[in-house]
Chain A
Amino acid sequence: MSTAHTNPETTTGHGDISTGVAGGDSNASATRITPGNALRPEDIALEVRTGLVKPSGDIAEYALRLGDDALILAQRLGHWISRAPELEEDIALGNIALDQLGHARSFLTYAGAAMTNDDGSARSEDDLAYFRREHEFRSVQLFEQPNGDFAATIARQFVVSIYQYLLYRRLTESTDETLAAIAAKAVKEVDYHRDHSAQWVLRLAGGTEESRKRMVHGLRTMWPYVGELFRDDDLTQRLAEAGAAVAPSSLKEDFDRLAGEILSEAELEVPDVPAAPGGGRHGKHSEHLGYILAEMQVLAREHPGASW
């Protein structure tokens, strides 16, 4: 990590602004809150603005891929808010969505540093999220798959969180300091996502006949899109050789092991289904992405530059 990322003065721009009564008042302890010290998307934006960091074209494209994955998943998961089976689960999925949105903002802000808009201005995270068209998105197709029922969402989350955990864990060793720093923040969060989805896979599979049936169906629905996660191409090969990125194919073995452990504990089979053709990394998407983008982008496009 660069010094800019490790020094709390420069990373957060604020000191300890803990509220509530601090310092030994045990009555206040349960409500004492602090924002904590961690890398925020705003910190990356500041580094980009001041010219401290500027990714190469390849790195920016790679960051765009990871950012789009997280952004589309955040939008998907956000749909569960007020619709989950229980209030507690509403918040759990909402928290996961917000984690993903944070990762997306960091990656897209960084990617934008190497890009310019048509009018020559620098590309912000909002420009990338709201003003690109479907074929310009680089997310793999798994992330845009419909929520389905709760079990289908958990199945998608199960695959995604293991994949992201393995990816970010390795990416913390990237030669690109900003990618490594984003991954270091993200890996702890997705580790919790992994635990959350594993707990639910076990409970749905071991619950009632109905919940088990739905879990099996959810996994079968999502599994055709698993293969695409681990496909290498020219970009990842170039970057992996330089030590900046992780070759997707190198994560497959660990993924199979970790997913297999939970599935066998849940007495579930790894679904035997044909793979979808994929192509999300090159802008080829399933029919679902267009609808997500329409909903996600409509406000920003109807009222460009609006703030609230």
Chain B
Amino acid sequence: MSPHGNPDAPASAATEINREAPKASPAPQEHHDRSAWGLWEVFVRSSRGLSHVHAGSLHAPDAAMALRNARDLYTRRNEGVSIWVVPADAIAASDPDSKGSFFESPQGKDYRHATYYTKSEGVKHL
């Protein structure tokens, strides 16, 4: 039941689109279907010098409205000075099931960290 939603589209339409999106994502595409609002990921930067951080997601008919919705949803308590929005289906994500093969390799490779090495004699400011 979706009493307040868009009567032309089931409430779950946007997430379904996202789930079916291929892992290696295509170029960002406009949502031509006007009856369904796409899912957008929101990144907020809190001040100059810091990086944008993922804040959450929202639904919007297009990029301009996604920015405005992000402003209304994620910066109500003065959280940000800059917002990025990205179509959720434009994000290529690593596969959670292949965590082992993807992220095992760096484990135990101490020599990739500076602390592994002994400081040479006479070298200052390290």
Hey, which bits of chain A sit against chain B, CB under 8 A? 24, 26-27, 29-36, 82-89, 91-92, 95, 192, 195-196, 199, 203, 207-208
Q: Is the CB of B78 within 8 A of A91?
A: no
Cβ–Cβ < 8 Å partners of B68 in chain A: 92, 195-196, 199
B92 contacts A by Cβ under 8 Å: no
From the candidates A30, A83, A203, name the one contacting B46 in the complex (CB within 8 A).
A30
B88 contacts A by Cβ under 8 Å: no
Please provide the chain B residues from 65 to 111 with a CB less than 8 Å away from any CB of chain A in the complex. 65, 68-69, 71-74, 76-80
Q: Is the CB of A199 within 8 A of B44?
A: no
Q: Is the CB of B76 within 8 A of A88?
A: no
From the candidates A31, A89, A192, A195, name the one contacting B79 in the complex (CB within 8 A).
A31
User: Which of A24, A27, A88 is packed against the most chain B CB atoms within 10 Å?
Assistant: A88
Contacts A26-B50, A35-B78 given; indicate if A88 touches B44 (C-beta within 8 A): no
Contacts A26-B50, A86-B59 given; indicate if A36 touches B4 (C-beta within 8 A): no
From the candidates B58, B65, B73, name the one contacting A199 in the complex (CB within 8 A).
B65
Q: Is the CB of A88 within 8 A of B59?
A: yes
Please provide the chain B residues from 31 to 60 with a CB less than 8 Å away from any CB of chain A in the complex. 34, 37, 44-47, 50-51, 53-55, 58-60
Bound-state CA distance A239–B25 (Å) is 62
Contacts A88-B59, A195-B68, A196-B68 given; indicate if A29 touches B47 (C-beta within 8 A): yes
Q: Is the CB of A30 within 8 A of B54?
A: yes
Q: Is the CB of B73 within 8 A of A27?
A: no
Total contacts A to B, CB within 8 angstroms?
A: 69
Cβ–Cβ < 8 Å partners of B65 in chain A: 199, 203
Cβ–Cβ < 8 Å partners of B51 in chain A: 26, 29
B123 contacts A by Cβ under 8 Å: no
Q: Closest approach, in angstroms, between the C-beta of A204 and any C-beta of chain B?
A: 11
Instruction: Supply 26 A–B pairs (Cβ within 8 Å), ascending by A.
Output: A26-B50, A29-B45, A29-B47, A30-B74, A30-B79, A30-B80, A31-B79, A32-B46, A32-B79, A33-B77, A33-B78, A33-B79, A83-B4, A85-B4, A85-B6, A87-B59, A88-B69, A91-B69, A91-B72, A92-B68, A92-B69, A95-B72, A192-B71, A195-B68, A199-B65, A199-B68
